[in-house]
Amino acid sequence: MIAAFGTLVFLATLWLLVVVGAAVLEESGAKIAAALKGKAEPQASLVTVRLRARPRARQPMRVGPELRAAA
């Protein structure tokens, strides 16, 4: 009886993975196919993206000679 329930759980999990995979392919299948072919994905609409300026580079740390020798 335990084997029957284990098989049922396995088949239900497998079915769920197939359903989720089909939903993912339905959403982004064209993008995946374009990426595999090495082409740019088809643009459905233009999207404006704001980019933040990079923060200033950090100043190098001042390290004494004893720490330099340890490195």
Q: Is 56 helix (H, G, I), strand (E, B) or coil?
A: coil
User: pLDDT digit string (tens) for 11-63?
Assistant: 999 999 999 999 988 888 888 888 888 877 656 556 677 767 777 777 777 76
Asked if residue 71 is part of any domain, the answer here is no
Domain that includes residue 23, residue range: 2-51
Question: Which of 7 and 56 is assigned the larger pLDDT?
Answer: 7
Asked if residue 39 is part of any domain, the answer here is yes
Quote the pLDDT of residue 66: 74
Q: 50-53, long-range: CB within 8 Å, 24+ apart, which pairs?
A: none
Asked if residue 70 is part of any domain, the answer here is no
Quote the pLDDT of residue 16: 97
Asked if residue 47 is part of any domain, the answer here is yes
Domain count, the chain: 1
Backbone φ, ψ for residue 28 (5° rounding): -125, 25
For the entire predicted model, the pTM comes to 0.44
Biggest CA-to-CA distance, the chain: 72
